């Protein structure tokens, strides 16, 4: 078997952890598997670098930031390689560039354009264990170091696994796998044995922090099988794979919540073509990502209300932009509400089962939780509710859909 293993920040968080990971790797090697390692920076390092740069200036140069941040992964890759080598096995530490991760030039959120991991393959073929610095790449002309966005080591691992056609990409973290919901909120939350890429994608973008969303997209596209598991024990983890017919039998696989959103509402917006286009163009040109949008039918054919959600960190600037536009359009007041949460249920079974939304809404209403906004996809229903009901909503939905049961 050829196995790509990615170890996250807490897994390599200190010297003892690095030693423990090295032992784990060597043990696997003893079973005669080909092994490629990808690592994150030691826990907290990336944030520490960001804070230090922030003390120098409010707006650090992005190229410089990429150079700075990429150093964290270089440190952990080197140390892990040193540890493995010291145990009498052959390891070779590689930067993102040396591993052939070629990206575009979008600093701090670069996209992978090509994978030229010939050197990684040669190393494996000659019995070495490559230890690759995750989260980083190099531009096509080899002139600039880039990073792949927060949590990007997952993407490095999946990309390398797809290039090598690895049998499995193991993502090691500090939790046992993917749960039906946050076990910190519902103690009956159950670890899932298996989940589809699409479900994982929804859960990842909804704030389940086990896998970076872009790595799941990549894995889906190239059908890289992933297993999420803990580096602190030998529990089997959760498989993230292509959908199979079994999965459809389960209507809801998980409940997620996201407390990082804010809702902006504009009243009395003139109801004519081009208004929404103008508003959202301005928001987008300020690099603010809009999630949900609701526009009401106007009762008099002249005015309507529009609400949309943005990440909490962008709420102030989104409100300012909106106020400017409402002024120009002759619309009414724009207000922001920060005390909200997005609560979602996810499951591929929704494609083939009816009544799921009704059940969700009824359950919320039975618990006197008001729904402010609703959005749906084929396999997801999300509601915006008041922040203070987040935990209650997660619990009652987990109960009603019987997620604690196999
Ligand atoms: N060290 C980077 C981060 O903290 C990348 C990663 O951990 O995957 O976002
Ligand atoms: Mg991570």
Residue 203 has pLDDT above 90, yes or no: no
Tell me what the mean pLDDT of segment 28-48 comes to.
96
Please work out whether the CB of residue 109 comes within 6 Å of at least one atom of ligand 1: no
Please work out whether the CB of residue 130 comes within 6 Å of at least one atom of ligand 1: no
Please give the pLDDT value at position 275: 84
pLDDT, tens digit (0-9, with 9 covering 90-100), for 116-169: 999 999 999 999 999 999 999 999 999 999 999 999 999 999 999 999 999 999
For a substitution probing ligand 1, which of 73, 158, 231 has the most ligand atoms within 8 Å of its CB? 73
Indicate the pLDDT class of residue 300, thresholds 50, 70 and 90. Answer: confident
Tell me what the mean pLDDT of segment 309-335 comes to.
92
Tell me what the pLDDT averaged over the chain comes to. 94
* Nearest residue (CA) to ligand 1, atom 9: 150
Of ligand 1's atoms, which has the minimum distance to the CA of residue 41? 1
Alpha-carbon span 115 to 130, nearest angstrom: 15
Task: To the nearest 10°, report the CA torsion of 21, 23, 28, 29.
Answer: 110
Indicate the pLDDT class of residue 207, thresholds 50, 70 and 90. Answer: low
* Domains defined for the chain, CATH in brackets: 2-174 (3.40.1160.10), 255-400 (3.30.2130.10)
Residue 298 has pLDDT above 90, yes or no: no
Residue with token string 């930067």: 95
Please give the pLDDT value at position 389: 98
* Nearest residue (CA) to ligand 1, atom 5: 151
Residue with token string 């297993």: 227
Identify the residue with better confidence: 210 or 359.
Answer: 359
Alpha-carbon span 131 to 79, nearest angstrom: 10
pLDDT, tens digit (0-9, with 9 covering 90-100), for 91-102: 999 999 999 999
Please give the pLDDT value at position 199: 95
Output the pTM of the full model: 0.88
Indicate the pLDDT class of residue 291, thresholds 50, 70 and 90. Answer: very high
- Terminal-residue alpha carbon distance, the chain: 30
Tell me what the mean pLDDT of segment 272-291 comes to.
89
Please work out whether the CB of residue 150 comes within 6 Å of at least one atom of ligand 1: yes
Tell me what the mean pLDDT of segment 50-71 comes to.
97
Please give the pLDDT value at position 208: 64
The first and second tokens of residue 130, run together, are: 């490559």
Please give the pLDDT value at position 249: 86
Residue 113 has pLDDT above 70, yes or no: yes
Sign of the Cα pseudo-torsion (384, 387, 390, 392, in order): negative
Find out whether 176 and 210 touch, Cβ atoms under 8 Å. no
Residue 185 has pLDDT above 70, yes or no: yes
Of ligand 1's atoms, which has the minimum distance to the CA of residue 154? 8
């Amino acid at each position: 078997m050829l196995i790509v293993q990615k170890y996250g920040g807490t897994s390599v968080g200190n010297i003892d952890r690095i030693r423990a990971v090295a032992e784990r790797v060597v043990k696997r090697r003893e079973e005669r598997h080909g092994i490629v390692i990808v690592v994150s920076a030691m826990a907290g390092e990336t944030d520490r670098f960001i804070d230090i740069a922030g003390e120098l200036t409010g707006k650090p140069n992005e190229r410089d930031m990429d150079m700075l941040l990429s150093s964290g992964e270089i440190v952990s890759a080197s140390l892990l390689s040193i540890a493995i080598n010291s145990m009498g096995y052959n390891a070779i530490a590689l930067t993102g560039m040396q591993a052939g991760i070629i990206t575009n030039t979008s600093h701090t959120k670069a996209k992978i354009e090509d994978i030229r991991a010939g050197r990684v393959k040669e190393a494996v073929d000659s019995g070495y264990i490559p230890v690759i610095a995750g989260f980083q790449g190099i531009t096509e002309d080899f002139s600039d170091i880039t990073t792949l966005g927060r949590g990007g080591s997952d993407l490095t691992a999946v990309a390398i696994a797809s290039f090598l056609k690895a049998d499995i990409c193991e993502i090691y973290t500090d939790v046992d796998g993917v749960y039906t919901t946050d076990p910190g909120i519902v103690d009956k939350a159950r670890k899932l044995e298996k989940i589809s890429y699409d479900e994982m994608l929804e859960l990842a973008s909804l704030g389940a922090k086990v896998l970076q969303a872009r790595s799941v997209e990549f894995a889906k596209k190239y059908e890289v099988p992933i297993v999420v598991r803990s580096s602190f024990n030998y529990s089997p983890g959760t498989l993230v794979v292509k959908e199979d017919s079994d999965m459809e039998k389960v209507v809801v696989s998980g409940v997620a919540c996201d407390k990082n959103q804010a809702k902006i509402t504009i009243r009395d917006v003139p109801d004519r073509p081009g208004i929404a286009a103008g508003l959202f163009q301005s928001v987008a040109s300020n690099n603010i990502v809009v999630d949900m949008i609701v526009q009401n039918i106007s009762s008099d054919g002249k005015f309507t209300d529009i609400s949309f959600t943005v990440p909490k960190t962008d709420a102030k600037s989104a409100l300012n932009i909106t106020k400017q536009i409402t002024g120009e359009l002759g619309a009414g007041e724009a207000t922001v509400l920060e005390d909200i949460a997005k609560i979602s249920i996810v499951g591929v079974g929704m494609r083939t089962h009816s009544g799921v939304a009704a059940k969700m809404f009824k359950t919320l209403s039975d618990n006197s939780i008001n729904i402010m906004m609703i959005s749906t996809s084929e396999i997801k229903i999300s509601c915006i509710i008041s922040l203070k009901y987040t935990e209650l909503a997660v619990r009652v939905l987990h109960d009603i859909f019987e997620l604690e049961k196999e």
